[in-house]
């Protein structure tokens, strides 16, 4: 196997590919009303998200391709989570629709800004985004299983801060970048 193929087929990237393949499975489970299976497959997908980044760093398999693949996996998984709420738990969806709209905009607006400036999908993987990704899983499950919406709403508000930071990063950068860390790092170290 050549070097390029081995970079694409790294363990971390295979986990991201798995997460992408689980998105249609989540959609079908939601449409079929399989709430327990949906939550189980979603849990596997979210665990693979934690593992892919950790393994990429530990095994020295970090790449721009992997960062972008991970970002696509995240975005499509979050979209499947929102669709799952809509399909399987419509009352919760209606109660949370303003926060779900905010969550959607926290993805769309930074993406649009990066597409306008650089013509490509941003994959900044900031510390804030990593924290938000870790917090969203328990918030989502608590919302569904025990009707605890305060934590879910706080996590969505945190996502809005992450989105604002991603917009600032795009403004500060002079060329596309992945795995930026934080806007503060760009400002402090002049890495833009």
Same domain (yes/no): 99, 178? yes
Across 28-32, 77-81, 136-140, 176-180, least confident range? 176-180
In a domain, 54, yes or no: yes
Distance between CA 143 and CA 4 in Å, rounded?
A: 42
**pLDDT tens digits for range 161-170:** 999 999 999 9
> CB under 8 Å to 25, separation ≥6 — which residues?
41
**pLDDT tens digits for range 54-69:** 787 788 888 888 888 8
Query: Between 122 and 159, whose confidence is greater?
Result: 159
Same domain (yes/no): 42, 8? yes
| Number of domains within the chain | 2
What does DSSP assign to residue 96? T
Q: Which pTM does this prediction carry?
A: 0.88
Distance between CA 5 and CA 115 in Å, rounded?
A: 28
Give the burial class of 189: count Cβ atoms within 10 A of its Cβ; 0-12 exposed, 13-18 middle, 19 or more buried: exposed
Same domain (yes/no): 155, 102? yes
In a domain, 79, yes or no: no
């Amino acid at each position: 196997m050549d070097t390029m193929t081995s970079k694409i087929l790294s363990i971390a990237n295979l986990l991201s590919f798995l997460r992408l393949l689980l998105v249609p499975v989540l959609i079908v489970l939601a449409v079929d009303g399989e709430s327990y299976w949906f939550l189980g497959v979603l849990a596997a997908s979210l665990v693979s998200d934690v593992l892919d980044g950790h393994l990429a760093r530990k095994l020295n398999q970090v790449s721009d391709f992997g960062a972008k693949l991970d970002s696509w996996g995240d975005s499509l998984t979050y979209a499947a989570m929102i669709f799952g709420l809509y399909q399987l738990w419509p009352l919760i969806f209606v109660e949370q629709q303003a926060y779900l709209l905010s969550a959607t905009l926290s993805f769309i607006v930074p993406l649009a800004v990066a597409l306008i400036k650089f013509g490509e999908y941003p994959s900044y993987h900031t510390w804030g985004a990593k924290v938000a990704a870790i917090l969203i899983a328990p918030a989502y499950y608590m919302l569904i299983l025990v009707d605890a919406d305060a934590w879910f709403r706080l996590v969505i508000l945190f996502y809005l801060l992450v989105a604002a930071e991603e917009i600032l990063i795009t403004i500060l950068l002079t060329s596309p970048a992945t795995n930026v860390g934080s806007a503060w790092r760009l400002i402090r170290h002049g890495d833009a």
